Amino acid sequence: MNLEISASIEDQNNRREWHIDTEDNLEPTHHGYCIFRVPQCILEVKEGAYTPKLISIGPFHHGKEELAEIEKQQPRYVESFLKRITMIKMEEISAFVKNKEQCIRNFYAETFMVPRDEFVKMILDDATFIVELLWRYHKGDTSDLLRNIPAVHNALKFDLQLLENQLPYFVLKKVYKLAFVGLGIADNPSFMDLSYKFLRGYLFKSLPSSPMEVKNFADLRRSVLLIKEGCFSNSRSDSRVNSNVNIGSLLCAMKLRESRVNFMGIER
């Protein structure tokens, strides 16, 4: 399998692009999923709560017509990201996603009939869009259209935390590291710091005191909520349930049952 990457300079708009040549091949099945579709029984209750309003991330909602208007902004963010990095870094990022393509597919609880070149480009575009979005927010870029309109900004935060609208966190973290780490930026934060800063206020008001390992943004939200409720210690390595769990805000079994949550008995 060959991967040829080049940056083309168009006479009209000086635009840099990904060029990826790969063979078409489907991945084998895998059971280590962490990005799922929302069950139909839950969608029937309130489908809008689980469906992106502005932008598709990952393969589940890719190409939906109702998301096309805001997604026109995505190529501008990708282009801006590419202008920040060197050709060498561009090649490193492309090679990383290409080499991890099988691993990335295995994060999704569904087999996608998407050729490798299309799948890799989709992951590259979505990952660089998110990294550029969070980087602009960190830098306080006032020209950011998706930030300056509060309703759009809040809806975008919501979309990035939806269960079906995810990229593996390790991809985002690595793309950010390859692009920005080592550039001599004095205040260069970690990608987790960028994630906290962007989602803070919508998800939580203060940062967890200990670093966390998360699988995606939806898992980040879950982890922070568990820490907030006292269900787990701040260290992800210590998964023991806290004896002082605050259950005051948890729904009772009847309410959960009404929301189509099924309960199963456990034999002791």
Task: Spell out the per-residue pLDDT of the chain, length 268, in tens.
Answer: 444 444 443 444 455 777 665 554 444 444 467 899 999 998 888 888 899 999 999 999 988 888 887 778 889 999 999 999 999 999 999 999 999 999 999 999 999 999 999 999 999 999 999 999 999 998 888 777 787 888 888 899 999 999 999 999 999 999 999 998 766 555 688 899 899 888 876 556 666 666 678 999 999 988 887 776 666 544 444 433 343 444 444 556 665 665 666 666 655 4
Sequence letter at residue 92: E
Beta bridge partners of 35: 108
> What pTM was computed for the model?
0.75
- Structure-block tokens of residue 259: 């929301």
Phi/psi of residue 30, each to 5°?
-150, 150
